Amino acid sequence: MKIETFQLERDQSLWENLVEYNLTESGLHPFTLSELFSSAQLDELLSLRLGYGQTNGSIPLRQAISSYYPGATADSVLATNGSAEANFLANWTQLEPGDEIVYMVPNYMQIWGVARALGVTVKPLPLRQALGWQPDLDELRQLVTPNTKVIAVCNPNNPTGSRLSSEAMAAIVAAAQAVGAWIFSDEVYRGAELDEVETRSFWGMTDKVVVTAGLSKAYGLPGLRLGWLVGPADFIAQCWASSDYTTITPGILSDRAGTFVLGDRAMRNRILTRNRGWLRQNLALVQEWVAEQNGRLSLTPPQAGGMAFMRYDFAINSTELTTRLRQEQSVLVVAGDCFGMDGHLRFGFGSEPEYLTAGLNRVATFLRTLQ
């Protein structure tokens, strides 16, 4: 199996630790263990023996995760090493050469690359900025055919920060049901809504739904590398068998820490409330900064997540622009090319406000050289 370069992840891996300002992160400024946990919980983590855990996730962890998905049980859940492994396992388990997947774009392009490597035909379903980064529902219905095995969405969306409307979600469900397709819904940004209204999950809207999520984005805990799959028990069992060929088991420390976070709704609410407040504060900084750029940048304000997807009005390719920005100002942002959308940039705004402001000031200095 030959797999194409995952350009976004490759660019971040190469440069994010070598620049002075990294504005590529789409999550929140991460917590420390001491900020999160009580003394008793920290003592429990310190006394934990570092052996293998249950390979599909401990029962308490899977019970805690399932409690956020009405009707799910521990057998409906597979704990993974980050939501990236969850995405990979779902697609690797389900898709075969010759299948067809309808794939929301722009998007985190992991599933795009995995599906193409598996010999699957990938049919892009564009989100339209003119529609507020919603899909054209007539276009959706035309793309879905009897050969469609999966409709894959990211909701809330990376990189636009948009949320699918109720009408769009219903149309996706109807299109999938009409041909017996699965819905794979990446919901890792659920919980990071700026208006504090939690995005509706696709879980429960139809039988053939698989949800992926994790602690990396909305929760500000990417270093735990804890994700999960939620789906029908027989599908989850197949993915568990597939995971024996990947990472085998989540880390025991991450399993226990994740159980603390997800098993205590008061702690979860405290984490999400802190993060949403930070996002609202920082988005205001970003919008003020965009307004100062003489109309050369345009932004449809995101509804969720710590990322702003901007169109720019400069005669330069997005990869060239971001390369020059990195070389000349030591600032890293994501090129629209990474999402198949040249002419755009993705800025992460979930960092500390002072850091964000300093980074944006350097970007403004660079943009003046383009004018």
User: Do 97 and 222 share a structural domain?
Assistant: yes
> What is the arrangement of strands in the sheet containing 148-154, beginning at the earlier edge strand?
77-80, 227-230, 209-214, 182-186, 148-154, 100-105, 121-128, 134-135
Query: Quick check: 50 pLDDT over 90?
Result: yes
Contacts 24+ apart (CB under 8 A), 135-143: 135/104, 135/164, 135/168, 135/171, 135/172, 137/167, 137/168, 137/171, 140/102, 140/171, 140/172, 140/175, 141/171, 141/175, 143/102
pLDDT classification of 6: cutoffs 50, 70, 90: confident
Strands 331-332, 21-22: pairing is parallel
Rounded to whole angstroms, how far apart are CA atoms 278 and 123?
A: 36
Q: Is residue 356 part of a domain?
A: yes
Chain mean pLDDT for the chain: 96
Determine, yes or no, domain membership for 27.
yes
Q: What is the CATH number of the domain that holds 235?
A: 3.40.640.10
* Residue 251 shares a structural domain with residue 327: no
Q: What is the mean pLDDT of residues 94-114?
A: 96
Q: Domain boundary at 264, 288, 304, which?
A: 264
Place of tokens 């226990």: 256
Per-residue pLDDT tens for 225-257? 999 999 999 999 999 999 999 999 999 999 999
Q: Could you tell me if 61 and 147 lie in one domain? A: yes
Same domain, 68 and 137: yes
Task: Examine residue 38 and state whether it is found in any structural domain, yes or no.
Answer: no
Do 70 and 126 reside in the same domain of the chain?
A: yes
pLDDT attached to residue 10: 86
Provide mean pLDDT across the span 184-205.
97
11-47 tens-digit pLDDT: 888 888 999 999 999 989 999 999 999 999 999 999 9
Furthest CA-CA distance within the chain? 59
CATH number at residue 339: 3.90.1150.10
Structural domain includes residue 40: no
In a domain, 322, yes or no: yes
pLDDT, residue 331, reads 97
Please check whether residue 37 lies inside any domain of the structure: no
Q: Tell me whether residue 267 is exposed, middle or buried, using C-beta atoms within 10 angstroms of its C-beta: 0 to 12, 13 to 18, 19 or more.
A: middle
The region of weakest confidence among 11-20, 76-85, 148-157, 164-173 is 11-20
Q: Which of 214, 236, 264 is the last residue of a domain?
A: 264
Same domain, 235 and 299: no
User: pLDDT digit string (tens) for 254-286?
Assistant: 999 999 999 999 999 999 999 999 999 999 999
pLDDT for residue 371 is more than 80: no
By DSSP bridging, strand 334-335 and strand 344-348 are antiparallel
Closest CA to 105 of 339, 344, 343, 347: 339
Q: Which segments of the chain does DSSP mark as H helices, in order?
A: 7-15, 33-36, 39-46, 59-66, 82-94, 110-117, 137-143, 166-179, 233-243, 252-263, 265-291, 318-329, 353-370
The reported pLDDT for the residue numbered 115 is 95
What pLDDT, on a 0 to 100 scale, did the predictor assign at position 247? 96
Are 206 and 289 members of one domain? no
Block residue for tokens 């100062």 = 292
Residue 307 has pLDDT above 90, yes or no: yes
Domain that includes residue 288, residue range: 7-31+268-370
Instruction: List the strands of the sheet with 334-335, edge to edge.
Output: 297-299, 307-312, 344-348, 334-335
217 and 315 belong to one structural domain: no
In this structure, the answer to whether residues 235 and 323 fall within a common structural domain is no
Cα 214 → chain centroid: 9
The pLDDT value given to residue 4: 87
Asked if residue 351 and residue 277 are part of one domain, the reply reads yes
User: Total domain count for the chain?
Assistant: 2
Mean pLDDT of 214-221: 97
* Per-residue confidence (pLDDT) for residue 157, from 0 to 100: 98
Instruction: Identify whether residues 207 and 121 lie together within a single domain.
Output: yes
Whether residue 41 is contained in a domain is answered as no
Task: Report yes or no on 1 lying in a domain.
Answer: no
Residues 125 and 246 in one domain: yes
Of 232, 264, 296, at which residue does a domain stop? 264
User: Taking the CB of residue 145, how many other CB atoms lie within 10 A of it?
Assistant: 13
Q: Provide mean pLDDT across the span 79-95.
A: 97
